[in-house]
């Protein structure tokens, strides 16, 4: 399992991704409002297409102005605005409101996870002097454990040498 700071960073990354996705959804799928006395700026729904039948019996949908043309490159080698995916149609108000509530709930849950991780970080709620004292204790404990490790390493090397001598001193049976 990752340490607390890595978990916190991952959680913040997820929160930012969720925020971006939420804003993108709100921007692209919002229903258009009406202003009294103003003409509607909402895109008109596409008229029902009247497919023309091909000789083999399959339908051939007519090309409309709303369908992007073939991609073309502009003078600097980049692509034109036709490369952008078409904007999805607006949601109906009830669906949009339900989606907004769900997005908001998800953002609040992720923010609560971030808060929990922050509160569980070591050192939160203790003074600087307490943290320094704890670090000195841990440093002392680390030195003791390192001394024990060095002693065990010496014992291991001694046993390794003894085993080598036993193996070399053993006679081979013909």
The 10 Å Cβ neighbour count of residue 115 is: 11
Residues near 56 by beta carbon (within 8 Å), at least 6 away in sequence: none
Q: What is the pLDDT of residue 56?
A: 52
- pLDDT at site 122: 77
Going residue by residue through the chain (174 aa), what tens digit of pLDDT does each one get? 468 889 999 999 999 999 999 999 999 888 888 888 888 777 766 555 555 445 555 554 444 444 444 444 555 555 555 677 777 888 888 999 999 999 999 999 999 999 999 988 877 778 888 889 989 999 999 999 999 999 999 999 999 999 888 888 776 666
Map out the domains of the chain as residue ranges. 1-32+67-121, 130-174
In angstroms, the CA 64 to CA 47 distance is 10
pTM attached to this predicted model = 0.52
Identify the bridge partners of residue 59 per DSSP, sorted by sequence position.
Answer: 53
d(CA 157, CA 134): 34
């Amino acid at each position: 399992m990752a340490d607390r700071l890595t978990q916190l960073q991952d959680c913040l990354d997820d929160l930012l991704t969720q925020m971006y996705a939420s804003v993108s959804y709100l921007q692209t799928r919002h229903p258009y409002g009406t202003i009294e006395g103003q003409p509607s700026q909402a895109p008109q729904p596409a008229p029902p297409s009247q497919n023309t039948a091909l000789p083999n019996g399959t339908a051939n949908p007519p090309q409309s102005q709303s369908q992007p043309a073939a991609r073309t490159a502009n003078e600097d080698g980049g692509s034109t605005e036709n490369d952008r995916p078409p904007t999805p149609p607006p949601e109906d108000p009830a669906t949009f409101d339900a989606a907004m509530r769900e997005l908001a709930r998800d953002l609040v849950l992720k923010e609560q996870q971030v808060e929990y991780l922050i509160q569980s970080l070591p050192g939160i709620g203790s003074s600087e002097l307490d943290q320094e004292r704890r670090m000195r204790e841990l440093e002392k404990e680390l030195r003791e454990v390192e001394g024990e490790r060095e002693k065990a390493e010496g014992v291991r090397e001694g046993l390794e040498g003894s085993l080598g001598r036993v193996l070399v001193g053993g006679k081979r049976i013909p």
